[in-house]
Structure formats: structure tokens, C-alpha cells
Chains A and B, each alone.
Chain A
Amino acid sequence: MSGRGSSVIVDLDGTIAELAPRVLRYANARLGDPALAEDVAQESLAALVRACRNGGAPESAEAFVFAIARRRAGRAAWRRRLWAPVELASGARSGEPSPEARAIALDESARVRAALARLSSRDREAILVVAVGGLAMADAAAALGLSVSAVKMRVSRARARLAALLEERHG
């Protein structure tokens, strides 16, 4: 894991720069929409910046940001589902990748997304936060509101199932 673990933030710029690709990667995996993922990642990191500047720095920046990203990604997914037909009709979803970029990314990321979609939502969330977001188990537990042992169990189950699903799709 590349997580920093629980620590009080001393270098806000450095923390944000380090967290940005991770939270963006997590949001990408959750939403499959780069533009929406950027929105979610930036809002989550901006919340951390606000908290720190207001003197309320969280004990774990990672757990704080990922807990917010998780909620916002969930809301964004619902909103997208509700508005998708209207947005398509109005041409509002112009921030999507070009057909070429999508074609290149489609193969592997689509395969992985399809496999992730077959996991239970609880297992999927746990593996996304830990493996994609790079959170340490303790931070993942804080972000998901679970015990460390519960997160470990879910991640382990998700990894095994995912490996089998990806293998099955390869075969």
C-alpha cells in the first residue's frame, strides 16, 4: 500500500498532491467517467483544504478524503442515473473522452469494471478503497466506518473473487 497512514497534516500542498491521483483513480473506478471523477476528487480534496484552513485538520487526511469521495461518488452515480437521458438529449455530457481514447482504455478497464460489477457492493467498495485508492487498512476502516478485521475480510474475499472472474474472462 502506498498510504501514509494516520498522521497530522504538516504539508498541505504535498498531501493534496499525493492524494490527488489516488482519489482520482478511485473515483474513476467508481464512476467510469473521467470528467465526473475529476469533479468528485476535487470536491473531496477541497473539503480537506477547507477543514485544514479552518483549523479542523482531521487525524487522517486519507480517511477523511476517501470518506467524502465515497459519499460524493455515490451521489454522483445516482444523479447520473437520474439525469442520463436528459443529458444525452441536451448534449451536456461533452466532457467524455474522445472515441480514440475510449477505445484504447475500453479493453482493460472495461474488463476490470465488468468484473468489479459482479462483486457485492460492500466487497467492491472495500477493494476499491484499499487497492485502487491505496489506503492502509486502518484508514480504509475509518473511511468505510468498519472495523479493521471486517475490511480485511472484505478485501480478501473481493481479491479472490476478482482474480477468479478476471481469469475466467481471460479463458
Chain B
Amino acid sequence: MADDPHAAIDRRLRDAFEPDPQAAARVAEGALAGETRRWRPAWTAAAAVALCLAAAVAFWPPRPSPGIEAPGAFLSGSFTEGLLVVSLPDGSTAITGGEARKDRPDPGYGIVLVEGEFR
């Protein structure tokens, strides 16, 4: 072993990580006694994560964005000659469309889903 050119590097590695003899004795004793080592840190960490989640749910309830609110009004409109005419809550009338599209309902009254920004 003494002639091994790599003995020095091996010894250096062993010395760098030499365990405490008492720790080794403790480990041997525990293994022979069939003891399972504690994994408390993992349980503690799991409990901490659960706590954080609970706190997040309790203190950060979902709230509506301040800039967007439902109009709180019932819009009604009609299709006439391919134009959508909608009376808005402020008293004005919005007219949109103009191009003939096959998916538009026939002129008359019905339920229309309107997508867009309400101002």
C-alpha cells in the first residue's frame, strides 16, 4: 500500500471526511438495535409548507381586479340588416357590424353574446 502512487490522494480523501468515532459507534449501535433514524427535518419541513399554504389561503383571498367590473346592466340589442344595435346603460347606442356573415342570426331579436371592453 505504501508503494501505491495513489495512496497519498486516497489518504487525503479519507482524512478530509474522517467521522467522529463517537458518531460511528452511535451509528453501529443504532443499526444493531434496529433503530430507524429520525427524518424529523422532512416532517418539520412538510408541516411548515402546510402552514404556509394555509396562511396563503387565509390571507390572500382572491379579489376582483379593481379595473374590471361587471357592467351590472342588462344589455339588449337587435340585428337589423346585418348590424348589431345595442342600447348601452349610459343612454347611447352602439352599432357594429355591417358585413354579411353566415353565422349571424336572422334579423329580429334573440340572445347575443357580446365580447369586448365595457367603458
Contacts and interface: CB of A to CB of B under 8 A. Distances in A.
Interface string B1-24: 100001001101111111111011
B10 A92 contact: no
B4 to A, nearest CB: 10
Across the A-B interface, the 5 shortest Cβ-Cβ residue pairs: A45-B31, A20-B28, A112-B16, A21-B24, A131-B10
Interface of B: 1, 6, 9-10, 12-21, 23-28, 30-32, 34-42, 44-45, 47-49, 52
Contact of B48 (A90, A131, A159): A90
Contact of A92 (B21, B34, B45): B45
A93 B40 CA distance: 10
Interface residues of A, number: 51
A37 B17 CA distance: 11
A50 B31 CA distance: 9
Main secondary structure on B side of the interface with A: helix
Contact of A42 (B10, B12, B30, B49): B30
A131 B15 CA distance: 11
A5 interface: no
- Which of B9, B14, B17 counts the most chain A CB atoms within 10 A? B17
A155 B16 CA distance: 18
A45 B29 CA distance: 10
A6 B13 CA distance: 24
Contacts of A21: 19, 21, 24
A24 interface: yes
B25 A46 contact: no
Contacts of B26: 38
Contact of A132 (B13, B40, B45, B52): B13
Contacts of B15: 108
Contacts of A92: 40-41, 44-45, 48
